[in-house]
């Protein structure tokens, strides 16, 4: 990044909550790809961006999206009908692409940048196929990224925990993160996926037995949370818990908050917030969940907000995806990964008229609006599970504009509307709070110190929006009610100090492929002996061929553990 022309972004209203700036007029100078003090910059040779009257934000940070790897790619392949009307012409600069809910790699990078986002975390990857994810990330320009590694159904880990070998378990977790070149620990339906694979079962509560292992999901989660803290990982355990999308989910989520002894990030909490109204019908339990989250400072969450329209569900939650396939009758892709995890894909469409979908939409917004501390909240749609990432501007508008919210709420089934808390919530997010939940908070939750803010030394990732451009982009969705959008169409986006978007459009200058963040926690190498034996007995690849080689890291950066 060195050698690029210095840049000054002058006179804009700066939203940099991490540095306590909330809309004050400030200049930003960038040198060698990083934010620099004004006196360090050779201003005569700098490119000057006149940002007067504009809102200046750090580049967006998405801490949970499915953008690359085996599962995502099966999602692309599964739905050619999804791509038909959504293509990117190579004449627009860079590479051509296709895909609506699951765009191709080059297109994903460009579309994120065109929203003002510059950092994205791939939300779930089995270490066995991590090499694939890294290959796709290399083909995804304009973004810095990392991968969360699925560890909640790992059989070697299960064996260690069952034998009471907590330290060995921790060494193994560190070894796996390094082998996969991963960034953090992802847990998906711990034990439930194993039970699905071995018995066509699931895990419905934290004390259910994981068949054949003499173990419970509770012990697995406990061990992982403890390990993340002991290894000093920059990001705590990233949990997709039990009973996703069912009326039994809220109970187990509340229980996990109760027993978690360390950092816990509850991902796509919207899907995990449901109870039963006593008559067997779905009801949302946002009030209790918000209360529990508010009271526990070790807990953070992202929402997974529903966006009405098409989506592609893809998770490592094998039994959930199978059940969803049966329920909808849609095509179902399932994928069991030896010793590690499972998963599936089902295309879906969220409809305003559908009572459950409407309730899900309401639930997500309630979670956003009932959470007291925006620093523990991140905006996501669990792309592409609850909706595609390029609908973030619509979600931002819903949070900032009570009237728009009311207008959409009016179109939902009366039974949902009447019983919602949402209709009585007046809160509107400020631009500063939006900067927190889309930039500063996700960066802090991930432990990425140079992201999500624009203090000296931060990465030169900046998005500059004109206030009047809000919603100006022709909606790319097929929304029935006109889609209103905020923080759409940035005038400029800079990635590492390089201008990559002008007037909302990719400039065609990709530069490098972006940095892949990963961690290298210490471990006792004696874990490799039993592991080698485990591979010999139960894996279909050789132990020596398993770890992802340096060749796949491009410009990788190891983020230090504490």
Partner 1 sequence: MKEINNAVCTFCGCLCDDIAVVLGDDGGVRVKGACTNGKGHIEGYDAAPVSPMVRGEPVSWDQALDEAAAILGDAESPLIYGLSSTASEAQRRCVALADRIGAAIDTTSSVCHGPTGIAMQNFGEPTCSLGEVLNRADLLLFWGCNPAVAHTRHFTRYSLMPRGRFTPRGRKDRRMILADVRRTPSANAADRFLQVEQGSDYEVLGALRALVQGKRVRADSVGGVPLEELGALAEELGSCRYGAAFFGMGLTMTSGRDLNIGQYFSLVRDLNAHTRFSVVALRGHGNVAGADAVMTWQTGYPFAVSLAGGVPTYGPGEFTAVDMLSRREADAALVVASDPGAHFPAGAVRGLEGIPRVVMDPVVSLTAQDATVYLPTAQYGVDAEGTYYRMDGVPIRTRAFRERLRPTDEEVFDGVLERLHGGRVESTTPIEEVQR
How far is the C-alpha of 95 from the C-alpha of 313, rounded, in Å? 26
Residues 17-56 that bind partner 1 (CB under 8 A): none
| Shortest distance (Å) from residue 443 CB to partner 1 | 27
Nearer to partner 1 by Cβ, of 424 and 550: the residue is: 550
- Of 244, 236, 232, 194, nearest to 215 by C-alpha is 194
Q: Which helix (H) or strand (E) holds 348?
A: strand 344-350
> For residue 167, is the peptide bond before it cis, meaning its omega torsion is within 30 degrees of 0?
no
Binding status of residue 325 toward partner 1 by CB under 8 A: yes
| Shortest distance (Å) from residue 158 CB to partner 1 | 11
| Shortest distance (Å) from residue 246 CB to partner 1 | 19
Among 2, 3, 20, 91, binds partner 1 (CB under 8 A): 91
Binding status of residue 436 toward partner 1 by CB under 8 A: no
Binding status of residue 15 toward partner 1 by CB under 8 A: no
Nearer to partner 1 by Cβ, of 128 and 303: the residue is: 128
Q: Which residue in the block uniquely carries the two structure tokens 């998963």?
A: 343
Among 22, 27, 32, 139, binds partner 1 (CB under 8 A): 139
| Shortest distance (Å) from residue 109 CB to partner 1 | 12
56 strand-pairing partners: 14, 464
Tell the burial category of 302 from Cβ atoms under 10 Å away from its Cβ (0-12, 13-18, 19+): buried
Helix/strand/coil (H/E/C) assignment for every residue in 371-382: CCCHHHEECCCC
Binding status of residue 96 toward partner 1 by CB under 8 A: yes
| Shortest distance (Å) from residue 276 CB to partner 1 | 25
| Shortest distance (Å) from residue 90 CB to partner 1 | 5
Binding status of residue 168 toward partner 1 by CB under 8 A: no
CB 300 within 8 A of CB 269: no
CB 125 within 8 A of CB 150: yes
Among 41, 98, 162, 421, binds partner 1 (CB under 8 A): 98
| Shortest distance (Å) from residue 456 CB to partner 1 | 36
Number of Cβ within 10 Å of residue 354's Cβ equals 16
CA distances from 214 to 163, 167, 171, 217, 534 (A): 9, 19, 21, 11, 18
CA distances from 23 to 157, 385, 461 (A): 48, 33, 18
Nearer to partner 1 by Cβ, of 79 and 371: the residue is: 79
Among 3, 42, 45, 89, binds partner 1 (CB under 8 A): 89
CA distances from 520 to 226, 233, 340, 514 (A): 17, 9, 20, 19
CA distances from 169 to 55, 223, 247, 351, 530 (A): 47, 8, 33, 44, 12
| Listed ranges 276-284, 287-295, 323-331, 481-489: which one lies at the site for partner 1 (CB under 8 A) | 323-331
Nearer to partner 1 by Cβ, of 87 and 352: the residue is: 87
| Shortest distance (Å) from residue 194 CB to partner 1 | 11
Residues 499-538 that bind partner 1 (CB under 8 A): 537-538
For residues 327 to 366, the per-residue mask of contacts with partner 1, x marking binding by CB under 8 A and - elsewhere, is ---xxxxxxxxxx-----xx--------------------
| Shortest distance (Å) from residue 535 CB to partner 1 | 10
The Cα diameter of the chain in Å comes to 71
Phi, psi angles (nearest 5°) of residue 275: -130, -170
| Shortest distance (Å) from residue 435 CB to partner 1 | 32
| Shortest distance (Å) from residue 307 CB to partner 1 | 21
Binding status of residue 467 toward partner 1 by CB under 8 A: no
Q: How many residues bind partner 1 (CB under 8 A)?
A: 62
Nearer to partner 1 by Cβ, of 89 and 474: the residue is: 89
> DSSP assignment of 104-148, as one string?
-HHHHHHHHHHHTEEEEEEEEE-GGGHHHHHHHHHT-TT-EEEEE
CB 127 within 8 A of CB 180: yes
Residues 176-215 that bind partner 1 (CB under 8 A): 196-198, 200, 212
CB 365 within 8 A of CB 420: no
Binding status of residue 541 toward partner 1 by CB under 8 A: yes
| Shortest distance (Å) from residue 172 CB to partner 1 | 17
According to DSSP, the β-strands at 377-378 and 462-465 are unpaired
Among 135, 230, 276, 509, binds partner 1 (CB under 8 A): 135
Binding status of residue 79 toward partner 1 by CB under 8 A: yes
Nearer to partner 1 by Cβ, of 35 and 72: the residue is: 72
| Listed ranges 10-18, 320-328, 454-462, 478-486: which one lies at the site for partner 1 (CB under 8 A) | 320-328
- 3-state class (DSSP) for residue 459: strand
CA distances from 219 to 160, 209, 224, 313, 511 (A): 11, 10, 9, 28, 45
Binding status of residue 282 toward partner 1 by CB under 8 A: no
| Shortest distance (Å) from residue 538 CB to partner 1 | 5
Tell the burial category of 87 from Cβ atoms under 10 Å away from its Cβ (0-12, 13-18, 19+): middle
Binding status of residue 132 toward partner 1 by CB under 8 A: yes
Show the beta-strand stretches assigned E in 20-104. 21-31, 34-36, 47-50, 55-58, 60-65, 87-88, 97-98
Among 70, 228, 362, 483, binds partner 1 (CB under 8 A): 70
> DSSP assignment of 192-261, as one string?
HHHHHHHHS----STT--BTTTTB-HHHHHHHHHHHHHHTT-SS-EEEE-SSTTSTTHHHHHHHHHHH--
Binding status of residue 306 toward partner 1 by CB under 8 A: no
Q: Which positions touch partner 1 (CB under 8 A)? A: 68, 70, 73-74, 76-80, 83, 87-91, 95-99, 103-106, 128-129, 131-132, 135-136, 139, 155, 196-198, 200, 212, 322, 325-326, 330-339, 345-346, 537-542, 544-545, 549, 551
């Amino acid at each position: 990044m060195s050698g690029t022309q210095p840049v000054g972004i002058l006179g804009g209203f700066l939203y940099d909550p991490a540095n306590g700036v909330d809309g004050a007029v400030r200049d930003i100078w960038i040198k060698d790809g990083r934010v620099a003090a004004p006196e360090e910059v050779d201003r005569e040779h700098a490119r000057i961006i006149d940002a007067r009257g504009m809102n200046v934000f750090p580049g967006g940070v998405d801490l949970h999206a499915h953008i690359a790897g085996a599962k995502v790619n099966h999602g692309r392949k599964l739905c050619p009908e999804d791509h038909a009307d959504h293509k990117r012409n190579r004449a627009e600069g860079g590479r051509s692409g296709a895909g609506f809910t699951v765009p191709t790699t080059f297109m994903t990078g460009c579309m994120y940048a065109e929203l003002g986002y510059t950092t994205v975390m791939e939300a779930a990857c089995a270490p066995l196929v991590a090499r694939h994810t890294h290959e796709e990330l290399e083909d995804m320009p304009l973004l810095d990224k990392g991968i969360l590694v699925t560890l909640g159904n790992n059989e070697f880990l299960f064996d260690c925990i069952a034998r009471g070998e907590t330290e060995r378990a921790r060494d193994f977790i560190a070894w796996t993160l390094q082998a996969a070149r991963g960034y953090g620990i992802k847990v998906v339906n711990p034990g439930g996926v194993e039970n699905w694979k071995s018995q066509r079962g699931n895990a419905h509560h934290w004390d259910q037995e994981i068949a054949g292992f003499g173990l419970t999901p509770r012990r697995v989660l406990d061990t992982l949370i403890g390990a993340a803290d002991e290894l000093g990982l920059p990001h705590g355990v990233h949990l997709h818990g039990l009973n996703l999308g069912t009326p039994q989910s809220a109970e187990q989520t509340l229980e996990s908050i109760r027993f978690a002894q360390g950092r816990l990030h509850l991902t796509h909490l919207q899907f995990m917030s449901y109870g039963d109204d006593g008559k067997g019908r779905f009801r949302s339990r946002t009030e209790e969940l918000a209360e529990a989250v508010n009271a526990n400072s070790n807990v953070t969450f992202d929402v997974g907000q529903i966006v009405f329209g098409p989506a592609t569900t893809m998770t490592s939650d094998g039994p959930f995806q199978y059940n969803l396939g049966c329920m909808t009758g849609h095509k179902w892709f399932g994928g069991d990964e030896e010793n590690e995890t499972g998963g599936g894909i089902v295309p879906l469409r969220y409809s305003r008229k559908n009572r459950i979908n409407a309730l899900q939409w309401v639930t997500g917004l309630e979670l956003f609006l009932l959470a007291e501390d925006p620093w523990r909240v991140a905006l996501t749609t669990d792309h592409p599970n609850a909706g595609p990432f390029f609908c973030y501007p619509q979600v931002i508008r819903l949070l900032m504009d009570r009237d728009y919210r009311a207008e959409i709420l009016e179109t939902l089934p009366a039974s949902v509307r009447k019983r919602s808390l949402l209709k009585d919530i007046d809160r509107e997010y400020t631009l500063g709070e939006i900067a927190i939940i889309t930039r500063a908070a996700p960066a802090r939750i991930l432990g990425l110190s140079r992201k999500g803010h624009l203090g000296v030394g931060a990465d030169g990732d900046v998005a500059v929006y004109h206030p009047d451009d809000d919603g100006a982009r022709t909606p790319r969705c097929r929304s029935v009610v006109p889609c209103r959008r905020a923080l759409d169409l940035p005038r400029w986006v800079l990635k590492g100090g390089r201008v990559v978007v002008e007037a909302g459009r990719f400039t065609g200058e990709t530069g490098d492929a972006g940095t892949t963040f990963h961690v290298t926690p210490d471990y006792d190498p004696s874990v490799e002996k039993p592991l080698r034996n485990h591979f010999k007995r139960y894996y279909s690849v050789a132990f020596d061929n398993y770890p992802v080689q340096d060749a796949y890291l491009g410009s990788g950066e190891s983020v230090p553990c504490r």
